[in-house]
């Protein structure tokens, strides 16, 4: 883990880069990995923002500095489309998609549905959900929103063998479409 103070890291964060928040403790209802929340970075009027769909708030845009103060040492920055491996990726369109989610409700039903698939009995009786085109009118949850932004607007499916509606932060962390860069600290 490479820890970098936000003031020194800002210039290396691009629109559409993935922000994954590490769990606060060992127990969390949010999936299988070490991250419990996903968001996207965006430059807006010369200020770096965190675009997210968060429980209790829904879709919102807040300064990344405010989130680093709230969660120092827990926000990992991942470069979207490292080394330009996906030339069709539209970073600006993915960022606009996330901005447009500001004000949307949080997908409590969607996250519950995704979590239920991990229960031992349920897991044995369900097939993998790989169809991104299936109609789902429920509001998104955090990692679903990030996957949708990159697939629908950005033009690249970051987790091609998994539907957005069941994509968890751990799935994004393992995707070759993102590359870990550093972890943000509040130190100057």
What pairing do the DSSP bridges indicate for beta strands 75-80 and 58-63? unpaired
| Torsion 64-45-107-78 (CA) sign | negative
Query: Scanning the structure block, which residue is given the tokens 């300064």?
Result: 63
CB 14 within 8 A of CB 41: yes
120 has a pLDDT exceeding 70: no
* Helical ranges in the chain per DSSP H: 6-9, 64-70, 91-100, 108-116, 120-125, 142-148, 169-174
For the chain, which residues make up each domain, given as ranges? 3-185
**pLDDT per residue as tens digits for the range 52-94:** 999 889 999 999 999 999 999 999 999 999 999 999 999 999 9
- What average pLDDT does range 17-38 have in this prediction? 80
What pTM value is reported for the model? 0.90
Pair of tokens at residue 133: 């085109």
- What average pLDDT does range 97-102 have in this prediction? 97
Report the distance separating Cα 126 and Cα 124, nearest Å: 6
Q: How far is CA 107 from CA 15, 111, 146, in A?
A: 24, 6, 13
Residue 110: per-residue pLDDT:
75
Domain covering 3-185, topology: endopeptidase fold (from Nostoc punctiforme) (3.90.1720)
């Amino acid at each position: 883990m490479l820890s970098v103070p936000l003031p020194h890291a800002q210039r290396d964060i691009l629109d559409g880069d993935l922000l994954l928040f590490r769990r606060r403790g060992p127990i969390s209802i949010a999936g299988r990995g070490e991250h419990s929340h996903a968001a996207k970075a965006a430059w807006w009027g010369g200020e770096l923002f965190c675009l997210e769909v968060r429980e209790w708030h829904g879709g919102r845009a807040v300064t990344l500095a405010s989130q680093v103060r709230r969660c120092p040492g827990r926000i990992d920055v991942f470069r979207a489309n490292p080394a330009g491996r996906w030339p069709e990726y539209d970073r600006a369109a993915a960022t606009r998609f996330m901005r447009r989610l500001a004000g949307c409700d949080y997908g409590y039903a969607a996250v519950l549905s995704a979590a239920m698939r991990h229960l031992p009995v349920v897991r044995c009786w369900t097939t993998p959900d790989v169809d991104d085109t299936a109609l789902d009118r429920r509001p998104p949850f955090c990692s679903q929103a990030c996957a949708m932004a990159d697939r629908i607007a950005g033009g690249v499916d970051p987790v091609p063998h998994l539907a957005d509606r069941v994509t968890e932060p751990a799935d994004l962390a393992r995707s070759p479409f993102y590359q870990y860069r550093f972890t943000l600290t509040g130190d100057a």
